A = this chain, B = another copy of it.
Amino acid sequence: MLSKKTKYGIKALTFLARQDSSKPVSIATISKSENISVKFLESILLTLKKNGILGSKKGIGGGYYLLKNPKDVPMTTVMRILEGPIAMVPCVSLNYYEKCDDCPDEDKCAVHRLMIQIRDNSLKVFRNTTLADLTN
């Protein structure tokens, strides 16, 4: 299941991608438009900022804005920041690999081989989709 954090994060990012990029948008504005709790959204935008996706400005007229052109933000990046690994099991994860305790030989593991296929297909979609693609 996709977490609400990721869901809200993607919604907020596409909202920002649709705006005039020069002007910051306040949390309150995004919150109202996308029906997301202010406080929860706050924490999500903060992690996006800490990970170099968003910039921010304080005070009156302040808010968040995209640091890059939407077409240069692939969904792999967004997913990894908000959701964590794209793979369904750690033993097939590219960025968060972990060996299974119970599995003596990954190459012979049915789950492993199946989940590699799922991962590859998901990666293809996330890599080929940018924020710009989602604004239309």
Contacts and interface: CB of A to CB of B under 8 A. Distances in A.
Contact of A125 (B2, B117, B129, B135): B117
A102 interface: yes
Nearest to A125: B117
A110 B134 contact: yes
A: interface residue count bin = 20 to 34
A118 B87 CA distance: 12
A94 interface: no
The dominant DSSP class at the A interface is helix
Task: State the number of copies, please.
Answer: 2
B11 A110 contact: yes
A54 interface: no
Interface of A: 1-2, 7, 10-11, 14, 34-36, 75, 88-89, 101-103, 109-111, 113-115, 117-118, 121-122, 124-126, 129, 134-135
25 contacts: A1-B88, A2-B88, A2-B89, A2-B111, A2-B115, A7-B111, A10-B110, A10-B111, A11-B110, A35-B102, A36-B102, A75-B114, A110-B134, A110-B135, A114-B125, A114-B129, A114-B134, A117-B125, A117-B129, A118-B121, A118-B126, A121-B121, A121-B122, A121-B124, A121-B125
